[in-house]
Amino acid sequence: MAVETKFVVVRKGEEKMTFASKKEADAHDKLLDMADAFTDWLLQSGMQMDETQAENLGLYLAEQKETVQHILRTSKLPDLTAPAAAEADTKKIRAVKAA
């Protein structure tokens, strides 16, 4: 019989996700903490939105943390072609090393 260790992220008594590693579970838990903070902030802002909208927007902002940080630092959208170009360069380097 095999023994498996699973890490479960639980919020308000509800299982959210299960992970194979503690690192992944901790990262997801941190993401949910950030989403909760964004949600609370949005609900306190006085903008007209219901709780579901605030939760959805809070989760989106948490998931897009790097983009939000870039915009806050530079007041510009990040260059969306740069990651694709970097990935293509990485693939080229791997192909050259394999040859």
Who's near 38: CB < 8 A, 6+ residues apart?
57, 58, 59, 61, 62
Q: What predicted TM-score, i.e. pTM, was given to this entire model? A: 0.70
Residue 37: closest CA among 7, 14, 68, 15: 68
pLDDT tens per residue across span 30-80: 999 999 999 999 999 999 999 999 999 999 999 999 999 999 999 999 987
